[in-house]
Amino acid sequence: MSLVRAPLSRRGLLAGTAAAGLAPLARAAAPAWAGIERAGRGQTVFWNAWGGDDRTNAFIAWTSERMKMRHDLQLRHVRLRDTSEAVARVVAEKVAGRNEGGSVDLIWINGPNFLAMKQQGLLHGPVLDLLPNAALIDRIGKPTTMVDFTVPTDGYEVPWRMAQVVFVHDSVRVPDPPRSMAALRDWAAAHPGRVTHPTVRNFLGATFLKQALYELAPDPALLQQAATGATFGPVTAPLWDWYAALRPSLWRGGRNFPDSGPAQRALMNDGEIDIMISFNPSEASTAIANGTLPGTVRTYVLDGGTIGNCSFNAIPFNAAHKEGALLVADFLLSPEAQAHGMDPRILGSPTVLALGRLSAAERKLFDDLPRPVATLSDAELGRPLPEPHPSWMTAIAAEWEKRVTL
């Protein structure tokens, strides 16, 4: 991928994050893996994962079918409104002394929830390098597979899908979309009510503000450190000035916000807004294919780059079916699963794998995927900006809550 056109301080952030990548392993199953396969066969694995997107739910259902065929394993999707629900359950079990036989076997997690679980010793592991398919991960080229919101994963998380912020616009109504957050404010003022963002209680809404903060902060390098009482106010002051100017021009005057990304997409499909934020570079193409966005929508990124991250799975310390959870995590890293998830007709999620390490047959799974007109190339996406430290997301969400309820 090419570097985004960004100031030097942001390029320094990218280089520093890349240096944190680990050297790849040889692709070979550890001697213990055969025993894990035997023990995991026939288990029932409860995967606690966000259930707010129909496409992701369908992908998990497809994974369940594959796990049944391969390992006679029952994969049950515990649909969450928020990942914190599962984290709270694990915390309660630890407090109650339930150190074995826990109710959560696998959890889709990242950011603040991972930091909390890691700090409290709530994760089983390290597990990553037990997995044969972990050798295929692009640990250097995609350093966010090893670093979660600036926090080293240390093998306690297993990556399974990449994400990067993009903006989706109606190319007929907005042929030349704003390519900075400052320009978006000015565009919104000239076109009131035609843009919005999900509530900041939702991760995508919080990301909207973090993306603006990257552009507006006096020194974005500070975002790679924990927010403190001394730094939060000065660093975010330009963000709140920008947002105060933007908010009256938002959909419904900034008095109401869609609950989630899918709810925001529905507003665009209904013609109520013309620009939306997404964390899936292929969302526009997938939505065109399934009829949930018009065929005139296109995708773009900002001139200064956009935030990218990785979705992970982790196994709680007291999971009842650790072996089965490892089998699921390894399958999700397989070329079959990664190519299926990257298909824009399914999820359109960029792969976590280094395609150069695949066999010719495995590589063909990716080469044969369509790239519709609304999906950007890797070069067009540019190298993503690293996520800020989790504390910034938590503090920004709390501050937004105070300001929007005034």
The enclosing domain of 319 has a CATH number of 3.40.190.10
Do 176 and 156 belong together in one domain? no
* 142 within some domain: yes
Q: What is the DSSP letter of 223?
A: G
Q: What whole-number distance in Å separates Cα of residue 146 and Cα of residue 129?
A: 12
Domain range enclosing 98: 8-162+308-375
C-beta atoms surrounding 182 within 10 Å: 15
Q: So what's the pLDDT on residue 29?
A: 54
* 380 within some domain: no
Pairing of strands 147-148, 158-164: unpaired
Do 284 and 362 belong together in one domain? no
On the 0-12 / 13-18 / 19+ scale of CB atoms within 10 A, 359 is exposed
Do 129 and 142 belong together in one domain? yes
Q: So what's the pLDDT on residue 208?
A: 98
* 177 within some domain: yes
* 343 within some domain: yes
Residue matched to tokens 């947002």: 243
Do 147 and 290 belong together in one domain? no
Strand partners, 162: 310
Q: So what's the pLDDT on residue 13?
A: 43
Tell me the DSSP string of 302-370.
-TT--BEEEEEEE-BTTBTTHHHHHHHHHHHTSHHHHHHHHSTTTT-PPPSB-GGGS-HHHHHHHHTS-
Do 244 and 258 belong together in one domain? yes
Do 220 and 141 belong together in one domain? no
Do 312 and 301 belong together in one domain? no
Do 336 and 256 belong together in one domain? no
* 182 within some domain: yes
For residues 349 and 283, the answer to whether their CB atoms sit within 8 Å is no
* 59 within some domain: yes
* 18 within some domain: yes
Q: What is the pTM of this model?
A: 0.81
* 139 within some domain: yes
Do 184 and 83 belong together in one domain? no
Q: What whole-number distance in Å separates Cα of residue 67 and Cα of residue 50?
A: 20
Show Cβ contacts of residue 191 under 8 Å, excluding neighbours closer than 6 positions.
249, 274
Q: So what's the pLDDT on residue 25?
A: 43
Do 195 and 213 belong together in one domain? yes
Do 27 and 71 belong together in one domain? yes
Do 185 and 99 belong together in one domain? no
Number of domains in the chain: 2
Q: One digit per residue, pLDDT tens: the chain, 406 residues?
A: 222 223 333 334 443 444 333 344 444 455 689 999 999 999 999 999 999 888 899 999 999 999 999 999 999 999 998 899 999 999 999 999 999 999 999 999 988 899 999 999 999 999 999 999 999 999 988 889 999 988 999 999 999 999 999 999 999 999 999 999 999 999 999 999 999 999 999 999 999 999 999 999 999 999 999 999 999 999 999 999 999 999 999 999 999 999 999 999 999 999 999 999 999 999 999 899 889 999 999 999 999 999 999 999 999 999 999 999 999 999 999 999 999 999 988 988 899 999 999 999 999 999 999 888 899 988 899 888 989 999 999 999 999 999 997 5
By C-alpha distance, which of 192, 211, 195 is closest to 203?
211
